[in-house]
């Protein structure tokens, strides 16, 4: 089993909040129960049972999932996106609804098949899972459009932000100041302040 096959592409969150995050992979959130909220920029996307939210790579988000709610997150690796020639630059959001479209049903069905197959056949080769994943990505690209993002964030910006957030997380119990972090990152205080406001 190669490294790509061993990665678990699914994560379930319940009773947990994630502070500012981003990922190199594509994230597809699927509401399981209750009401979780994913915040992207200043927009909030409530996810109730069967609600869908797709976030493209390197998009900054926060997740709030109370104890009475659960959300399933599918992470599609950067390598898979490159192989599938994914060029999405939008956020796709669908609330749960009794009057869903055929495209919504298809995407939800493919996600369920992928989830079921992944856990029923973890020992098998990636070929069948790749087929489901390819079909899911194709449906997201062609039949599940969303609103365009204002500006894609550069990868270097995301790496710098990740470095700063890691530094803060590692020293959460210490008294930190903007001045100290700016000095450690070789930045001016005003630039660091603007950097966080902008990103």
pLDDT at 120: 79
pLDDT bin (cut points 50, 70, 90) of residue 188 is: confident
52/92 Cα distance (integer angstroms): 8
Greater model confidence, 149 or 85: 85
**0.85 cut: is pTM over it?**
no
Can you tell me the distance from the alpha carbon of 48 to that of 93, in angstroms, rounded to the nearest whole number?
12
CA distance 133 to 125: 13
| Residue 35 confidence (pLDDT) | 92
**Distance (Å, rounded) from C-alpha 92 to C-alpha 148?**
9
**Residue bearing the bigger pLDDT, 117 or 75:** 75
Residue-averaged pLDDT of the chain: 77
Position 57 pLDDT exceeds 70: yes
């Amino acid at each position: 089993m190669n490294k790509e096959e061993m990665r678990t592409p699914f994560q379930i969150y319940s009773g947990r909040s994630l502070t500012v995050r981003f990922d190199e992979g594509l994230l597809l959130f699927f509401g399981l129960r209750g009401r979780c909220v994913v915040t992207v920029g200043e927009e909030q996307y409530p996810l109730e049972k069967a609600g869908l939210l797709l976030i493209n790579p390197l998009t900054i988000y926060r997740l709030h999932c109370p104890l009475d709610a659960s959300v399933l997150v599918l992470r599609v690796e950067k390598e898979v996106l490159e192989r599938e020639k994914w060029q999405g630059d939008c956020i796709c959001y669908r609330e749960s609804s009794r009057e869903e479209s055929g495209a919504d049903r298809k995407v939800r069905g493919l996600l369920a098949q992928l989830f079921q197959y992944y856990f029923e056949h973890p020992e098998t080769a990636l070929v069948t899972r790749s087929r489901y994943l390819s079909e899911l990505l194709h449906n997201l690209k062609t039949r599940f459009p969303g609103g365009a993002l204002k500006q894609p964030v550069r990868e270097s910006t995301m790496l710098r932000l990740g470095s700063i957030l890691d530094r803060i997380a590692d020293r959460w119990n210490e008294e930190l100041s903007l001045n100290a972090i700016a000095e450690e990152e070789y930045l001016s205080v005003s630039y660091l302040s603007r950097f966080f406001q902008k990103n």
